[in-house]
């Protein structure tokens, strides 16, 4: 069972274009790619490129299935024994209760 739509090492990130990364993400969707999802993933890819400039030797998972929850975390970074779970809320201006509960559940 594949746990993530995208799984790669940060060193491989520089060899792939944004379009290739988007294609890998979209290839595992069980439905058609909606414009809002494309926009979100494009933003996340740009942010990921920024993050990995500072985090060497990092493994990247995008759209990672959280066991027993049946939900997907947007981005997980594994670096030097630390797990970062990143959930994007594009367009949000504040933290709402549902978003806080979601992140708490992931933890």
The packing angle between helices 35-54 and 18-26, to 10°, is: 120
DSSP 3-state assignment of 104?
helix
The pLDDT of residue 7 is 94
Q: What is the pTM of this model?
A: 0.86
94, pLDDT greater than 90: no
Cα distance between residue 4 and residue 28, in whole Å = 9
The string of pLDDT tens digits covering residues 22-81 is 999 998 788 888 998 999 999 999 999 998 888 888 999 999 988 777 788 999 999 999
What pLDDT is attached to residue 68?
Answer: 75
Dig out the tokens for 95 from the structure.
């933290």
């Amino acid at each position: 069972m594949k746990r993530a739509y995208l799984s790669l090492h940060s060193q491989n990130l520089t060899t792939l274009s944004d379009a290739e990364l988007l294609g890998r993400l979209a290839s595992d969707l069980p439905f058609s790619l909606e414009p809002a999802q494309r926009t979100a993933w494009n933003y996340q890819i740009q942010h990921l490129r920024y993050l990995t400039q500072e985090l060497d030797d990092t493994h990247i998972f995008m759209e990672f299935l959280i066991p027993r929850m049946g939900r997907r975390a947007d981005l997980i970074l594994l670096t030097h024994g630390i797990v970062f779970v990143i959930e994007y809320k594009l367009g949000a201006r504040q933290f709402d209760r549902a978003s806080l509960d979601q992140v708490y559940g992931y933890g």
